[in-house]
Amino acid sequence: MQNYNEFLDNAGVSQKVMIQILRQYFPSFTKSICSIVMRPKKYGVSLCPEAEAVLVDVFGPGPGLARPDIDVELPQPRRKENRKKGNRVTVWMNDDLYLRLVSLKTSEEFPTMTALVERAIREFIYRNTQEWLE
């Protein structure tokens, strides 16, 4: 059975470092998941072979892993988003307001909801600052 505490002690690193390393490859790996993984007898949960392979690649082989000799292709770190517009705004609204907004989008011939919202924000900024943004 896995003993990740033994592996980390042998490697001389903390759980915090383990979380930071694994989050580069598995963005949803959190402190709470790590806490569950560190107690396999209680929860019956262990790291997937790919995650163990990442630990072996970073810290070297050691005791406490399920299969330290496993040969697994390491996943690639998540790439940076390649968007021209890198910021997101989320809005929750009631059905009536949403339907009116969709109707306005269609009647004013905006190609996307983003175009409509951007235009509304630009007009709002202009009214408050007298500065038009392109």
Write the pLDDT tens digit of every residue in 57-86. 888 887 877 654 555 555 666 777 777 887
Q: CA-to-CA distance for 102 and 68, rounded, in angstroms?
A: 55
* Rounded (5°) CA angle 84-85-87: 145
The per-residue pLDDT for range 86-97, each reduced to its tens digit, is 788 898 999 999
Query: How far, rounded to the nearest angstrom, does the alpha carbon of residue 60 sit from its chain's CA centroid?
Result: 26
Of the candidates 59, 86, 105, which is a domain's last residue? 59
Look at residue 64 and tell me if it is in a domain: no
The per-residue pLDDT for range 22-61, each reduced to its tens digit, is 999 999 999 999 999 888 788 888 888 888 888 888 888 8
Number of domains in the chain: 2
Kindly tell me the burial class for residue 84, based on how many C-beta atoms sit within 10 Å of its own C-beta (0-12, 13-18, 19 or more): exposed
Look at residue 74 and tell me if it is in a domain: no
Look at residue 134 and tell me if it is in a domain: no
In terms of residue numbers, what domain contains 52?
A: 4-59
Look at residue 77 and tell me if it is in a domain: no
pTM of model > 0.85: no
The length of the chain in residues reads 134
Look at residue 66 and tell me if it is in a domain: no
Kindly tell me the burial class for residue 56, based on how many C-beta atoms sit within 10 Å of its own C-beta (0-12, 13-18, 19 or more): buried
Here the tokens at position 7 are 């592996």
